[in-house]
Amino acid sequence: MSELLDTLMQDARVWQGHRHNKTTQLAELTGYQALDNQLGGLGWPRGALSECLLDTPGIGELTLLVPLMQRLSRAGKTVFWLNPPHTPYAPALAREDIDLNQVIMIHTEGKDDFLWTLENCLRSPVTGLVIAWPGRLAAREIRRLQLAAEAGSNVCVLFRERRYAEQNSPAALRLQLEPDNQQSLKVHVVKRRGSWPGQRCSLALAHRAGLLHHETPRIVQGPWPAIAR
């Protein structure tokens, strides 16, 4: 029993309160040094779910993923957008050197269709990143998605309402996002696998060297034209 407990304590997936346990999990740098520093120098975890919790879309949350979309799409990996609340502005993405041929937007009908589609995107070998807006999810559904993320070993970011911060979640990373001003975003680490939460930083979205033009954040962060149905 003692050996089993020792083994479990060395597993970064076991949360140990305020005891920090270094992890060798695969990850993709966010492209924001201040945020990567708060995430142990790792960034977005691969083979696991990440949740971004916010009150309303259009506060600059998509800008967080621009460096990763750029890197993965140029490497030939597919970036899936699942049920975005508005239509992304393609010229802004192209201006950021994101290969639009690798960007696929999907809209589903009903939760069962959404879960099935998201699972298959996560398990696909062509996938580099899945961005999804799931709405309400039960804990068992999040666990189901976590298993699919582990199988695919890619990055999955779920944008959810901030009120779900109190919900128990197996996601490896949970970030709470708030607008700081027109050009900045406050990030609060609610949960990080293998370490304690509570880290905070403010990101200057308009001044990330070499990645965003000064006018781009207003386009990437919304509001975007509504989707015709």
Pairing state of beta strands 155-161 and 48-54?
A: parallel
Q: Is the pLDDT of residue 88 over 90?
A: no
List the domains of the chain with CATH numbers. Answer: 23-220 (3.40.50.300)
**pLDDT over 90, % of the chain:** 48
**Closest of 177, 14, 153 to residue 72, by C-alpha:** 153
**CA pair distance 226, 15, nearest whole angstrom:** 41
User: What is the arithmetic mean of pLDDT over 203-213?
Assistant: 50
User: What is the arithmetic mean of pLDDT over 21-30?
Assistant: 73
**CA pair distance 229, 139, nearest whole angstrom:** 31
Query: In whole numbers, what is the pLDDT of the chain averaged over residues?
Result: 81
User: What is the arithmetic mean of pLDDT over 118-129?
Assistant: 95
Q: Is the pLDDT of residue 225 over 50?
A: no
The tokens of 94 are what? 């192209």
User: What is the arithmetic mean of pLDDT over 35-56?
Assistant: 92
Q: Is the pLDDT of residue 18 over 90?
A: no
Q: Is the pLDDT of residue 42 over 90?
A: no
Res 206: pLDDT: 56
User: Which three-class secondary structure state does DSSP give residue 6?
Assistant: helix
Report pTM: 0.79
CA separation, residue 36 to residues 108, 146, 205 (Å):
33, 22, 15
User: What is the arithmetic mean of pLDDT over 139-144?
Assistant: 89
**CA pair distance 38, 188, nearest whole angstrom:** 9
Q: Is the pLDDT of residue 126 over 70?
A: yes
Length of the chain: 229
CB 30 within 8 Å of CB 64: yes
